[in-house]
């Protein structure tokens, strides 16, 4: 994207509400496009799709649509080739799949695992499988993870029918599950891990669901909120405990012993993002207004300091590293989205 040689290092967008969930598109034809979601503690919430205008080099809101309850996570379909319809998924009370076009956003399907009642156990997070975009996994406060199969039907008069079914549901933890993420190991389709309120990181294989592996347990049994796999080396993952100021790096080959602890933040960490193009760079973001980029090459020697620090104008709720343009990181704080050139 040529911004006429006057490329800024930071672009900012102000939303009409507090921003929490957000995600970069991976489609090559929509490079500076992000979806962001409101965090309003009531039923009526919003999702916006924003893009950077090449001419004005300003962010513009392309679409806004209503969403019941705040979204816990939002993700574009991990389809770098543009082979699938332009889909967006959100988790909250249910998993919803939306179709995005230039003129409208349409709800394609609502996936509810609890067919026999109106009660739903809220979804804390989900992940969309990069190797097979017909697979999604959700995590819930009811201690379960559900793996969904998605069908993208034939084009009927330009309408792709998207539907989904439960492939498997398993009790993943002893308490609430807070995050789920597919691993790139073993072909990238069958392995996933989850974290939860019982303070453990557990690894599963869809081919052998009768057992799981505990990779790590928090020494104080504090809930673990986030889990993030290294994008280049499937042996490494990062996690963080509730109200903790540090991020723990784990190696699945050495269970239960962190290979590194990143602890320069001065308030609780809210977000973790590995570099898409490098196995040794990771960004952490926290309530201390800081986004820190770390080089972890020298593990298992202690990593003292980050290599880059950016201070925002508020507590950073979320960080996302653009997978198709590795020199851009997005953060959100208060009602603002910022993209930073690294």
pTM strictly above 0.85: yes
Query: Where do the domains of the chain lie?
Result: 10-268
Phi-psi region of 164 (alpha: psi -120 to 50; beta: other; left: phi over 0): beta
pLDDT at 153: 62
Phi-psi region of 258 (alpha: psi -120 to 50; beta: other; left: phi over 0): beta
pLDDT at 163: 85
Per-residue pLDDT of the chain (342 residues; tens, 9 = 90+): 334 444 579 999 999 999 999 999 999 888 899 999 999 999 999 999 999 987 888 999 999 999 999 999 999 999 988 888 899 999 999 999 999 988 889 999 999 876 666 667 899 999 999 999 999 999 999 999 999 999 876 555 555 578 888 999 999 999 999 999 999 998 889 999 999 999 999 999 999 988 899 999 999 999 999 999 999 999 999 999 999 999 999 999 999 999 999 999 999 999 999 999 999 999 999 999 999 999 999 888 888 899 999 999 999 999 999 998 899 999 999 999 999 999
CATH architecture of 10-268: 7 Propeller (2.130)
pLDDT at 83: 86
pLDDT at 118: 63
pLDDT at 96: 96
| Residue 328 contacts residue 10 (beta carbons within 8 Å) | no
pLDDT at 29: 85
pLDDT at 61: 95
């Amino acid at each position: 994207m040529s911004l006429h040689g006057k490329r800024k290092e930071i672009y900012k967008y102000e939303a009409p509400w507090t921003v929490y969930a957000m995600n970069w598109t991976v489609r090559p034809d929509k490079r500076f496009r992000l979806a962001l979601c409101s965090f309003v503690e009531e039923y009526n919430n919003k999702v916006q799709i924003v893009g950077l205008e090449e001419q004005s080099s300003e962010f513009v809101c392309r679409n806004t649509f209503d969403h019941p309850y705040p979204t816990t996570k939002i993700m574009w379909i991990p389809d770098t080739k543009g082979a699938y319809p332009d889909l967006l998924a959100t988790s909250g009370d249910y998993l919803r799949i939306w179709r995005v076009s230039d003129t409208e956003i349409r709800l394609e399907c609502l996936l509810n695992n609890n067919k026999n009642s109106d009660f739903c156990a809220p979804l804390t997070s989900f992940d969309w499988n990069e190797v097979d975009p017909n697979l999604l996994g959700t995590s819930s406060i009811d201690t379960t993870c559900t793996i969904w199969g998605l069908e993208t039907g034939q084009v009927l008069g330009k309408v792709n029918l998207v539907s989904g079914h439960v492939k498997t549901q398993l009790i993943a933890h002893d308490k609430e599950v807070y995050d789920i993420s597919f691993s790139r190991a073993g072909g990238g389709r069958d392995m996933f891990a989850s974290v939860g309120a019982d303070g453990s990181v557990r690894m599963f294989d869809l081919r052998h669901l009768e057992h799981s592996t505990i990779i790590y347990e928090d020494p104080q049994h504090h809930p673990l909120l986030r889990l993030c796999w290294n994008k280049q080396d499937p042996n490494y993952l990062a996690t963080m405990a509730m109200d903790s100021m540090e991020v723990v790096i784990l190696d699945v080959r050495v269970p239960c012993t962190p290979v590194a602890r990143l602890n320069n933040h001065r308030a609780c960490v809210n977000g973790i993002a590995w570099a898409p193009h490098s196995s040794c760079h990771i960004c952490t973001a926290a309530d201390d207004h800081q986004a820190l980029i770390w080089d972890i090459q020298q593990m298992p020697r202690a990593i003292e300091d980050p290599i880059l620090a950016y201070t925002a104008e508020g507590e950073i709720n979320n960080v996302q590293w653009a997978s198709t343009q590795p020199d851009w990181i997005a953060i959100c704080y208060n009602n603002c989205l910022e993209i930073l050139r690294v």
